Structures are given as structure tokens and as C-alpha cells.
């Protein structure tokens, strides 16, 4: 077992330091606020008579950087804000919005966008937005200003889609190189999601010869390098990919992914040595007639040994529980051929081959809503610990619904693992907005409106808050989202969703708009910042 859970942490913190230092230099050299010529644009995103969702875009149109911003506005009618995101809003008409911790630094051409939901009795109003940064306002403190937009997105919104909201697209354009492998420093470190957490912030990726491999899509690489500190292979480190025949291991695709990650100062969470699921078990293994346990030990040892030093942690065994069996064990090929002991053996083999990697048991539906499954998890974990098996933690996949399970159930599940002195890692987080199991007709949402975005943001935020509240710092294995762009999510193909569209991740794209951070991203960032 390892005592230092993030082998690339030193390398990563050097990278962070470089980025932070560079940001400071830019701020010092940047224009002062009174020199700034920026625009402030108020847009109504949605208006349903009794309420509205609106957003304000603050764009730095100067040649220098700014370090913070603040804007004000006042409604002449009864519009009032009830909920907001991506800025700190104070007051009660007039309102003052100050940058959030991560979107205060604006490089030339960069835009920050924040949003809010309000109540109204009639059509939503478009007030004038004022502030030092609005249209070259003087330094007289916010009374100058100007360019409130109409509710239409007008000309500025077409430019907006290229310069885009907040940090993502500006980095993918003006600062993309600097935020990735070159390690130079145009982006503020607070614009890097991973920099908000002293534990891995991960994302699952397609790689190798998979469709839409991140290695063949530059925009994906840019976002990953900018925001994530750990990668999980969505597929290519599973059994059938790495061990296609008894005497053949194929590491080429995984090595390519690992090398890219290392070059960019990003860690790897290995997924997974043993998983029962369909074609992920190679056919030769399904018909193996020799000593099955010895073969499985060799499988784990060879793979763990190959990646030792490159991998932070492993899902050693994935989805071994069936809560409908009195034994709690899934009646998988492994259970049938080697008995329940295959789990302990896998941990021991992995630990012997790579004592520095954190070793996790990983499963779905253990987040608390299914108490039988959670009980099975605890029973199995207790047995492993009683037998001195080198398990470091439990991976909660967290393929949750937007309304199930409750965050208090999640807290209970996390706490049970914390109570056992084990790490908690959220390994496969996604939050679809449509729930096929809900009592309301499915799909509940056929388009991704700003109201849906706000709901999803709140859900992501409360999940991360639950994690931070319950799991002490030394037991935080990290948080990984299961995919980068909405359009690439496995959920879109999942049979129980009947091909219904959804938007479960932190970034839009590729089919549903530009590759931008969504409100859900802001929810995660806000939770990490304790806002």
C-alpha cells in the first residue's frame, strides 16, 4: 500500500506553480481598471412570465489583463434575483456582481459569464449594466457604463460563441497552447478546475482506436490539459483490450495515452484489472481450462507491473457485487471458477507488483440509494480488511440520477467507508437530466434549457459538497467525471434510455454546441471553492 497517493503530485505542483507565477506577472503588467475598455452585456436566456434566467457577459476588450471585475444593475420593475452562479451577487436591487475566485482574471479578449434566476410579474426586464469595466467607464465607481444589451443576443452573441463563455474557449483560442503541454502561463490557475482541489480531478476518455479518441481531437486535449489532473481510460485498459489472448498483452494504445498524460503532468487511474462484463472478458479467458486463479494472478501482476510508476491508482476489481445473491457475490466467471477469493488475490497481486498505487474496489449503485447493495459492499470490504488484504479505498461510480439518490444517502455511504479508514474516490460521475425510473414521464426534458442547466448545476454542486463534507482530506481519492463532452457520453447509447438525448457532463459538445464549460462545471468549481 502506498502512503503518498499521487505520484505525479510533485510534477503537477511544479506545473501549477509555473502557471500561477506567470499569471501574477501578467496581472502586474496588465492595464489598470481605469484603462480598461470592456463590454458588459445582459442577456435574457429564458423568460416564462413569472420568472427568468439571465446572464451577463463581461469581456476584456483591452490589450492588457485585468485581475478582477465588478458590475452593477438595477431593475425599474419588480424583477428580483433568487439564485445565481459564477459570480458573487450582493444587494437587493440594486445588485452588485463581483467575479468568482476563478473568473476574475481576464486576459485580452477573454470573457467571463455569470448567470442568475429571478422572479418577475410579466416580461423580464433588460437593465443597464454599469461598472468600471463596462464600455470604458471612468473610475468613478460604477455609475458610468453603458452597454446593456437588449435581450436578443444580437451581434455580440455571434462573437460570443467564438470568444465564448468564461475560461474554456478563451483558453482554447488565445491561450490553448499555454494551458496545455507547453506549461507556459497565460491562464490563471483558478481557471484550471484541478487547481481548486488538492486531490485528483479526473475525466474518462476514449483513446486508442476508439471513435472520437481524445488523441485525435485537439479541442479535447486542450480542455483536458486545462482542467483535469487525472485520466481514466473509458475502455482501453479493460481486460480484453490489454490481454487479448493468453500469451499476448497489448499495451500500445494504453501506453500512448499514458505518455500523453505524463507529458502534460496528468496522472492515470487504471480501470480495471477484473470486470465480468460481456466482451470485456476475453474469449480465451472464458474457456480457460487451466488453473484459473493462477492465470488471473498472472493477468493482474503483468498489467500492474507494466504500468507501475505511471498509474496513481487502480480499480482492482469492478462490479463484483450482486445484492440479490445471498452471498452478495455476482455469479461471474471469476466467482464460478475461483470463488470469492479472487477479489483478495487480485488486490494482493496488484500490491505486490505496484506497492505505490492506491488500490480500489469499484462498483455502481453503492451510493446509498440501494441499501442492500451498500450493505453487501460493506460486508465484502469488512471481510477484505479482516483478512489483511491491501485495499486502500472504495470507488463509487456515481452514475446517479438528477434526483436519486439523495445527497444524504450519499453522505451515509461515504461515511461508512471513511469509518473504515479507507479512501473514497468518485470514479465515474455523471448526472443525466432525464431519469427513466422516475414517476414522471420519461424523458422529463427534451432540450437543455437554462432551467435544466441550473438544476443540474445544483446537483453536481451538492454531490461535491457532500464529498468534501464527509471525506477528510487524507481519504479523498479524487473525483472523476465519466466523459468530457455531453455528446460522447455512454448514456446516450444506454439501452434503458431508448436513445433519448441527454446532457450529463460538465462540457457541451460535440453535437450540442461549442465545447464549453456548462453551469454544471461552475457547480463543481463553486463547491471546490466552498462558495
Active site positions, annotated? 428
- Of 104, 24, 35, whose CA–CA distance to 63 is shortest? 35
Q: Measuring CA to CA, how many Å separate 470 from each of 417, 428, 463, 475? A: 10, 19, 11, 10
- If one asks whether residue 428 binds ligand G3I (CB under 6 A), the answer comes out as yes
Q: How far is the CB of 280 from ligand G3I (least distance, A)?
A: 5
Q: Which is nearer to ligand G3I, 237 or 304 (CB)?
A: 237
Q: Which is nearer to ligand G3I, 66 or 505 (CB)?
A: 505
- Using CB under 6 A, which residues numbered 316 to 335 contact ligand G3I? 318
- If one asks whether residue 280 binds ligand G3I (CB under 6 A), the answer comes out as yes
Q: Which of 72, 79, 206, 221 binds ligand G3I (CB under 6 A)?
A: 206
Q: Which is nearer to ligand G3I, 170 or 427 (CB)?
A: 427
Q: What would the grid cell of residue 436 be?
A: 427513466
Q: Measuring CA to CA, how many Å separate 36 from each of 33, 111, 186, 191, 255? A: 5, 13, 18, 21, 47
Pairing of strands 51-60, 111-119: antiparallel
Four-point Cα dihedral 84, 87, 93, 94, nearest 10: -170
Q: How far is the CB of 393 from ligand G3I (least distance, A)?
A: 16
- Rounded-to-integer distance, Cα 511 and Cα 408, Å: 35
Q: How far is the CB of 253 from ligand G3I (least distance, A)?
A: 11
Size of the site for ligand G3I (CB under 6 A): 11
CB 201 within 8 A of CB 243: no
Terminal CA-CA length for the chain: 35
- Cα-Cα-Cα-Cα dihedral sign, residues 434, 438, 443, 448: negative
Strands (E), 183-265: 201-205, 230-233
Q: Which is nearer to ligand G3I, 118 or 234 (CB)?
A: 234
- Rounded-to-integer distance, Cα 234 and Cα 483, Å: 8
**Residue reference for cell 506577472:** 25
- If one asks whether residue 210 binds ligand G3I (CB under 6 A), the answer comes out as yes
Q: How far is the CB of 507 from ligand G3I (least distance, A)?
A: 16
- Using CB under 6 A, which residues numbered 335 to 364 contact ligand G3I? 364
b or e along 182-213 (b: 16 or more beta carbons within 10 Å of the residue's beta carbon)? ebebbbbbbbbbbbbbebbbbbbbbbbebeeb
Q: How far is the CB of 210 from ligand G3I (least distance, A)?
A: 5
Under DSSP, is residue 360 helix (H, G, I), strand (E, B) or coil? strand
Q: Which is nearer to ligand G3I, 157 or 277 (CB)?
A: 277
Q: Which of 62, 147, 172, 397 binds ligand G3I (CB under 6 A)?
A: 397
- If one asks whether residue 509 binds ligand G3I (CB under 6 A), the answer comes out as no
- If one asks whether residue 235 binds ligand G3I (CB under 6 A), the answer comes out as yes
- If one asks whether residue 253 binds ligand G3I (CB under 6 A), the answer comes out as no
- Using CB under 6 A, which residues numbered 441 to 500 contact ligand G3I? 490
Q: How far is the CB of 391 from ligand G3I (least distance, A)?
A: 18
- Rounded-to-integer distance, Cα 37 and Cα 440, Å: 49
Q: Which residue is nearest to ligand G3I, using beta carbons? A: 490
Q: How far is the CB of 383 from ligand G3I (least distance, A)?
A: 23
Q: Which is nearer to ligand G3I, 17 or 209 (CB)?
A: 209
Q: Which residues bind ligand G3I (CB under 6 A)?
A: 206, 210, 234-235, 277, 280, 318, 364, 397, 428, 490
Amino acid at each position: 500500500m502506498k502512503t503518498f497517493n499521487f505520484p505525479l503530485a510533485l510534477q503537477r505542483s511544479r506545473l501549477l506553480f509555473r502557471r500561477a507565477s506567470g499569471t501574477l506577472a501578467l496581472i502586474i503588467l496588465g492595464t489598470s481598471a481605469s484603462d480598461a475598455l470592456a463590454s458588459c452585456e445582459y442577456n435574457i436566456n429564458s423568460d416564462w412570465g413569472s420568472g427568468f434566467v439571465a446572464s451577463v457577459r463581461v469581456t476584456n476588450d483591452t490589450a492588457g489583463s485585468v485581475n478582477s471585475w465588478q458590475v452593477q444593475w438595477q431593475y425599474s420593475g419588480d424583477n428580483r434575483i433568487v439564485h445565481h452562479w459564477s459570480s458573487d451577487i450582493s444587494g437587493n436591487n440594486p445588485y452588485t456582481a463581483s467575479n468568482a475566485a476563478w473568473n476574475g482574471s481576464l486576459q485580452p479578449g477573454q470573457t467571463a459569464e455569470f448567470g442568475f434566476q429571478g422572479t418577475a410579474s410579466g416580461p423580464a426586464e433588460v437593465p443597464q449594466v454599469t461598472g468600471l469595466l463596462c464600455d470604458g467607464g471612468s473610475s468613478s465607481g460604477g455609475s458610468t457604463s453603458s452597454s446593456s444589451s437588449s435581450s436578443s443576443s444580437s451581434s455580440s452573441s455571434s462573437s460570443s460563441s467564438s470568444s465564448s463563455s468564461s475560461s474554456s474557449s478563451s483558453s482554447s483560442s488565445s491561450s490553448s497552447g499555454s494551458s496545455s503541454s507547453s506549461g507556459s502561463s497565460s491562464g490563471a490557475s483558478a481557471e484550471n478546475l484541478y487547481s481548486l482541489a488538492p486531490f485528483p480531478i479526473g475525466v474518462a476518455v476514449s483513446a486508442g482506436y476508439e471513435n472520437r479518441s481524445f488523441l485525435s481531437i485537439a479541442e479535447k486535449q486542450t480542455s483536458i490539459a486545462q482542467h483535469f489532473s487525472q485520466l481514466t481510460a473509458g475502455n482501453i485498459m479493460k481486460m480484453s483490450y490489454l490481454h487479448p489472448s493468453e500469451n499476448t498483452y497489448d499495451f500500445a494504445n494504453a501506453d500512448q495515452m499514458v505518455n500523453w498524460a505524463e507529458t502534460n503532468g496528468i496522472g492515470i487511474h487504471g480501470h480495471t484489472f477484473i470486470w465480468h462484463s460481456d466482451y470485456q472478458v476475453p474469449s480465451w479467458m472464458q474457456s480457460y481450462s487451466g488453473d484459473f486463479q493462477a492465470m488471473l494472478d498472472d493477468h493482474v501482476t503483468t498489467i500492474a507491473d507494466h504500468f507501475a510508476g505511471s498509474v496513481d491508482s487502480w480499480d482492482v476489481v469492478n462490479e463484483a457485487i450482486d445484492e440479490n445473491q445471498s452471498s452478495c457475490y455476482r455469479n461471474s466467471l471469476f466467482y464460478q471458477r475461483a470463488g470469492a477469493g479472487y477479489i483478495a488475490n487480485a488486490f494482493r497481486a496488484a500490491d505486490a507488483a505496484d506497492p505505490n498505487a492506491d488500490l480500489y474496489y469499484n462498483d455502481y449503485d453503492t451510493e446509498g440509494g440501494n441499501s442492500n447493495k451498500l450493505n453487501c459492499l460493506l460486508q465484502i470490504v469488512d471481510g477484505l480488511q479482516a483478512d489483511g488484504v491491501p485495499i486502500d479505498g472504495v470507488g463509487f461510480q456515481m452514475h446517479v440520477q438528477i434526483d436519486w439518490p439523495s445527497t444524504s444517502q450519499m453522505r451515509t455511504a461515504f461515511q461508512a467507508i471513511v469509518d473504515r479508514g479507507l479512501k473514497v474516490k468518485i470514479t465515474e460521475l455523471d448526472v443525466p437530466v432525464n431519469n427513466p425510473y422516475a414517476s414522471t414521464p420519461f424523458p422529463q426534458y427534451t432540450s437543455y434549457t437554462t432551467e435544466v442547466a441550473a438544476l443540474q448545476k445544483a446537483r453536481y454542486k451538492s454531490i461535491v459538497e457532500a464529498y468534501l463534507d464527509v471525506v477528510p482530506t487524507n481519504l479523498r481519492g479524487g473525483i472523476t467525471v465519466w466523459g468530457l463532452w455531453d455528446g460522447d457520453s455512454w448514456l446516450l447509447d444506454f439501452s434503458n434510455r431508448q436513445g433519448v438525448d441527454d446532457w450529463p457532463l460538465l462540457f457541451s459538445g460535440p453535437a450540442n454546441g461549442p465545447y464549453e464549460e456548462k453551469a454544471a462545471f461552475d457547480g463543481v468549481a463553486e463547491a471546490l471553492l466552498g462558495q
